Amino acid sequence: MSFQSLGLSEPLLKAISKKGYETPSPIQEKAIPPVLQGRDVLASAQTGTGKTAGFTLPLLHYLSENPKEKFRPIRALILTPTRELAAQVYESVKDYSTFLNIKSAVIFGGVNQKPQVATLRRGVDVLVATPGRLLDLQNQNLLSIKRVEVFVLDEADRMLDMGFLRDIERVMKLMPDKRQNLMFSATFSKDIRKLANSILNNPVQVEATPENSTVDAISQKVYRVAKNKKTGLIIKLISEGNWKQVLVFTRTKHGANRLTKKMVSAGISAAAIHGNKSQGARTKALAGFKNGSVRVMVATDIAARGLDIPLLPHVVNFELPNISEDYVHRIGRTGRAGANGQALSLVSADETSYLKSIEKLIDERIEVEIVEGFEPDPNASTEPIKPGQNRQQGRGNRNSNPRQSSRNKNHASKRKSNNSRRRNDRRN
Ligand code: AMP
C-alpha cells in the first residue's frame, strides 16, 4: 500500500516524502482511512509504530481541506501525558504541515507560560498539550477549546497511570459535544475501556503491535547479581562492551540520580531524566543522548515514556519494574526499525518475584548469566524490594500485618487478572 492510495492531499504527500517515508506503517494503513471518514477511532498502538503520523496526517488533511475563518480557533487538540511526548508530537505536526496553511503550537508545564500564551494569541489550528498546563491556561481565560472539532488522546494508559483521569474529564467538558475523537493506548485495562466508552462514539477499533515489541526481535538477558555490585557490573558492561548509547532504567528518581553520578565518576558521560528535573535539563539530556555526547541516559519509566530515540542499541534494566507491562515498554525502546537490540536486566535476589511475573507475561524464560566477581549474594533475602518502597506492589510479601497482607493479596490477584487480560489484548 502507498500513502497516495490512502487519499491524503498533495501537500501532505510532499511532506511525507520529505521525511523519507516510503510506505505507511500498519497502524497508519489501518487508522488513516477511518479518521479521514470522520469516524471515532480506538487504536491499540505504542511508540515506535508510527502512531503519531497515524492520527496527525488525516487530522491535518481534514483541517486543510475544510478551512475555517481567518481568525484561528483551536480546531484540533492533541493531549499527551508527558512534556517530552508533547514536544515530539508537536515536531511531527510541524513537519507534516510544512506545505499547508496550518498553524500549530505546544503547551506544557515546567516552563514560562508567556511565550506559549503569545503563540496562542496569534491563532492556532492544532494545539498539542499536557493536561495540567492546558487547564491552567484555560482557567486564566488565555485559551478556549470550545471550537475543537478533533480531539486526540495519546497514550491514554499512561495518562491514567499518571493520575490524569480527572483532568481529562475536565477537558472533555470544555469541548463541544459534536467532535471527532481518537484514542491511542498501548494497553487495554478495564479503566481504559471505561474511559474509551465515555469519550468515543461508535469507534472503529484498530491495532498494531510494533515490530520491536514482538519480543523475539530483541535479545534479552538477565544478569543475576548482588544488589551492591550492580553499579560495578553496569559500568563494566558499558566500558568493556564500548557501548555508545545506552538507556538505563531505575525504579526511582533518587536511584537515577545516584547511578548517574557514579557513571560520571567512572568517566562515562551520563545524564538522568525524570520528573524532578526541570524541563530545560530534560530537553538538554535528551538532545545530548541523541547527538551522542551523552552515552548513558538514566531514566524512570514515566520520564522515558514516549521518547522517540530511533535505533537504540542497548536498554538496561538496572532494576526490574514492579509492573510487568513496564518491562515490555522498556525493552520496546530497543531494536527499532528492524535493527538488533539488546535488553539486559540486572536482577538481585529481592527482584526474583518480579522476574517471574515478567517471564509469565512475555511467555518465555530469559537467559541468565552470572559474571565472575559480580555473583549474586547467596544469603540475600528474596523478599521483594526495600521496606517503604512501593510496598503494596510487591508480591509474595509475607507481611506480618494481616490487614496489610490481605490487601496485598487482593492487589496481586487483581493485577494477575489484569496481566492476563492485557496479554490477551495484545495478542488478539
Ligand atoms: P511514533 O510511533 O509515532 O513515535 O513513530 C516512531 C518513528 O517512526 C518516528 O521516528 C517516525 O518519524 C517514524 N515513522 C513514522 N511513520 C513512518 C513511516 N511510514 N515510515 C518510516 N518511518 C516512519
315 contacts 334 by C-beta, under 8 angstroms: yes
pLDDT, position 257: 94
Q: Of ligand 1's atoms, which has the minimum distance to the CA of residue 306?
A: 4
CA 337 – ligand 1 centroid, Å: 9
Residue 223: which H helix or E strand, with range? Answer: strand 218-224
* Cell, residue 12: 501532505
CA-nearest residue, atom 18 of ligand 1: 21
CA-nearest residue, atom 15 of ligand 1: 50
Q: Of ligand 1's atoms, which has the minimum distance to the CA of residue 47?
A: 2
Q: Of ligand 1's atoms, which has the minimum distance to the CA of residue 51?
A: 3
pLDDT, position 310: 62
Give yes or no for residue 99 CB within 6 A of ligand 1: no
CA-nearest residue, atom 22 of ligand 1: 21
Give yes or no for residue 310 CB within 6 A of ligand 1: yes
CA 83 – ligand 1 centroid, Å: 19
CA 379 – ligand 1 centroid, Å: 47
Query: Which residue, among 374, 42, 385, 11, has the nearest Cα to 208 in the 3D structure?
Result: 42
CA 209 – ligand 1 centroid, Å: 14
pLDDT, position 332: 75
Buried b (16+ CB within 10 A) or exposed e, 357-396: bbbebbeeebeeeeeeebebeeeeeebbbeeeeeeebbbe
pLDDT, position 279: 77
* Cell, residue 347: 536482577
- pTM (predicted TM-score): 0.62
CA 307 – ligand 1 centroid, Å: 12
Q: Which domains does the chain have, with CATH numbers?
A: 4-207 (3.40.50.300), 218-369 (3.40.50.300)
Buried b (16+ CB within 10 A) or exposed e, 194-230: ebbeebbeebbebbbbbbbbebebbebebbbbbbebb
Give yes or no for residue 26 CB within 6 A of ligand 1: no
Give yes or no for residue 305 CB within 6 A of ligand 1: no
Give yes or no for residue 308 CB within 6 A of ligand 1: yes
Question: Around 47, how many Cα atoms within 13 Å sit in the side-chain half-sphere?
Answer: 27
87 burial level (CB within 10 Å; 0-12, 13-18, 19+): buried
pLDDT, position 402: 30
pLDDT, position 385: 65
CA 333 – ligand 1 centroid, Å: 13
CA distance 373 to 379: 16
Running along the chain, 428 residues long, what does each successive block of 10 average in pLDDT?
93 95 91 96 84 96 89 95 93 97 96 96 96 97 97 94 93 97 87 92 81 60 96 96 92 94 96 83 86 92 68 89 85 64 93 93 89 91 59 32 33 37 31
277 contacts 285 by C-beta, under 8 angstroms: yes
Query: Which residue, among 222, 237, 261, has the nearest Cα to 348 in the 3D structure?
Result: 222
Radius of gyration of the chain (CA): 22
